[in-house]
Copies of this chain bind each other. A is one copy, B any other.
Amino acid sequence: MITEYFINASVTPLESMDTLSPHEVEKLQDMSQGGLYRLFRQCCLAVLNTGSELDSTRTVLHRFREFDIRIKTKHRGVQLELINAPASAFVDGQLIQGIREHLFTVLRDLLYVGDELDQGSAGLNASGRITNTVFHILRHAAAMKPHVEPSLVVCWGGHSIQRDEYDYTKTVGYELGLRSFDICTGCGPGAMKGPMKGATIAHAKQRKHNPRYIGLTEPGIIAAESPNPIVNELVILPDIEKRLEAFVRLGHGIIVFPGGAGTAEEILYMLGILLHPQNQNVPFPLIFTGPKGSEAYFETVDRFIKATIGARAAQRYEIIVGDPHDVAVKMKAGLESVLAYRNQTDESYHYNWQLHIPHEFQQPFEPTHKEMAQLNLRKGQPDYILAAQLRKALSGIVAGNVKEPGVLAIEQYGPFELTGDKDIMHSLDELLSSFVEQKRMKINHEEYEPCYRIVNDEIVEKSKDVI
């Protein structure tokens, strides 16, 4: 039985991380506003807190409020001093090696992003600069392996799912691993971890050298979704939008497992991109799957998509229930068409430059009352734009229901006011109610009360008549 909760330890650096300049060490220790210390401490804590059951950033930060990390400034090499670190990161007093790597990954990415953002992008437009930045961060993290044929499967889904859904993600991971595919997720437990564990066993059987278990995260989410130590390539992107762009440019195909509203947002993000006219010929395998008994989640989502964005969107994905073998076989076929297309269009295998991501998808969305009121949830616009709008609406509603700043804002200013077609609003309503019913949202479903209201349907209808 482990009875201690906090451990103090010194951590020697990975070789590749052991050539910091004194100036860089200073930056990491800088506790002033512009300094990196605060962010560095928070990310390190997240990395150390792996396997914990706490999935709220605030709880984590509170529980380990005594945690500190100091960098010894000796020239011989940086050494990290951990004070009151979570005991779960250690085995017999030794830090788990995978976690040690993650600590130095944090250091690598925070220093790089601090210094080089936008660097080398002179002459590019706003959208190009972001794409370029994501590329530079991934390249600096050695996450791009040229000449490797498309084999990186992104897995999305809930981090808090039921046992049988979790087991299912392991089996799918196993089938992917048997085909030597690499796995990329958003870190954290649940659907983020299961595929990696399954793939690890299969990769051992296939003697895969250097299997890749990539975790893409960002400072805002890492504390709540600590990377699993199986992740052997961790990259910390600066914000959620760059993280999403990294997923779709680095990955070659996506499998979505059941999740909650967050997963639905990711689906809308992906569909929005794939529906853009410039992307209509770009193959991108997208499979929604879960075990028997979890059909409801994807039925709900599928119904919502068809009812709002339209049937064309549904051609971009396939739903498979309870058949991991089939998921892997279909993904394999999908990756073959990706390979063929990249060869034909001279696109690199390691970064999907040609996929067009509209600038709107790259910009952070802050769900204030004002921003929510400006959303346009009507049909008479391109489907990919509607997808983007819906994603934002969903994001705002989730925030209003469960995220602290959102909940406070609702308390203070009343419900968000949304503008849009009646049936779209209805579908949105239905989608969220279903999630609540399926217990996929952290919300008391009996007392559930929408945090938004529809304000100007009539005006909308009228203005339509006028037009």
Q: A residues near B, CB below 8 A? A: 1-2, 15, 18-19, 21-24, 74-77, 91-92, 96-98, 101, 115-116, 119-121, 123-124, 128, 132, 135-136, 139, 144, 146-147, 178-179, 197, 200-201, 204-208, 213, 228-230, 232, 325, 329, 332, 342, 346-351, 353-354
Q: Which residues of B contact A92 (CB under 8 A)?
A: 179, 329, 332
Given A15-B147, A18-B147, A120-B115, the answer on whether A201 and B230 have CB atoms closer than 8 Å is yes
- Write the chain B residue with the least CB distance to A99: B205
A119 to B140, CA, bound (A): 15
Q: Which residues of B contact A232 (CB under 8 A)?
A: 204, 207
Docked CA distance A227–B21 (Å): 29
Chain B, Cβ-Cβ closest to A15: B146
Tell me, in angstroms, the Cα distance from A207 to B77 when the chains sit together. Answer: 22
For chain A, what secondary structure do more than half of its interface residues adopt (helix, strand, loop), or is it mixed? loop
Contacts of A132 in B (CB 8 A): 21, 23
Identical copies of this chain, number: 4
Instruction: Decide: B97 and A206 in contact? CB cutoff 8 A.
Output: yes
Q: With A19-B351, A77-B348 given, is the CB distance from A207 to B329 under 8 Å?
A: no
Contacts of A77 in B (CB 8 A): 146-147, 348
Cβ of B119 and Cβ of A354 under 8 Å apart? no
A76 with B19: CB separation less than 8 A: no
CA gap between A132 and B19 in the complex, in Å: 12
Q: Which residue of B lies closest to A228 (CB)?
A: B205
Closest 7 pairs between A and B when the two form their complex, measured CB to CB: A205-B229, A18-B146, A115-B120, A97-B207, A98-B205, A91-B178, A97-B206
B146 pairs with A19, CB closer than 8 A? yes
Assess the A347–B146 pair: CB atoms within 8 A. no
Rounded to whole angstroms, the CA-CA distance of A178 and B92 in the bound complex is 9
Provide 12 A-B residue pairs closer than 8 Å at the C-beta atoms, listed in order of the A residue: A2-B325, A19-B139, A23-B120, A23-B128, A75-B354, A76-B348, A91-B178, A91-B179, A116-B120, A200-B204, A201-B201, A205-B230
Q: A2 — which chain B residues lie within 8 A by C-beta?
A: 325
